[in-house]
Amino acid sequence: MINPERLQRFFLDLVQIDSHSREEKDVADYLRAHLESLGAIVTMDDTAEIIGGNCGNILTRITGPLEDRVEPLLFCAHMDTVVPGKGVKPVIDGGVIRSSGETILGSDDKSGIAAILEMLYVLKEDSIPFGEIEILFTVAEEVGLYGARNFDTSVLKSKRGYFLDTEEVAQVGIAAPAAYRMTYKIFGKEAHAGLAPEKGISAIQVAAKAIQNMPLGRIDAETTANIGVIEGGSATNIITPVVTLRGEARSHSDEKLELQVEAMRQALKKATEEAIITVDGKKFQSKFEETSKREYKSFHISEDSATYKLVAKAGEALGLKMGREVSGGGSDANIFNEKGIESVIVGTGMTDVHTVKEHIKISDLEDCTKLILKMVELHR
pLDDT in tens, 132-190: 999 999 999 999 999 999 999 999 999 999 999 999 999 999 999 999 999 999 999 99
Q: How far apart are CA 234 and CA 320, in angstroms?
A: 56
Question: Residues 54, 57, 60, CA angle at the centre, nearest 5°?
Answer: 130
Length of the chain measured in residues: 380
Q: How far apart are CA 160 and CA 341, in angstroms?
A: 5
Q: Is the pLDDT of residue 311 over 90?
A: yes
Say which of 45, 108, 141, 248 is annotated catalytic: 141
pLDDT in tens, 63-88: 988 888 999 999 999 999 999 999 99
Per-residue pLDDT, 67: 87
- 80 is an active site residue: yes
What is the torsional sign of CA 191, 194, 195, 200?
Answer: positive
pTM of the shown model:
0.90
- 132 is an active site residue: no
Which class would CATH give 178-295?
A: alpha beta
What is the torsional sign of CA 344, 334, 353, 7?
Answer: positive
Per-residue pLDDT, 329: 86
What are the structural domain ranges in the chain? 4-177+298-378, 178-295
- Report, at the CATH architecture level, how domain 4-177+298-378 is classified: 3-Layer(aba) Sandwich (3.40)
Say which of 45, 80, 108, 248 is annotated catalytic: 80
Burial of 242 (0-12, 13-18, 19+ CB in 10 A): middle
- Residue 361 sits at φ, ψ, to 5 deg, of -75, 135
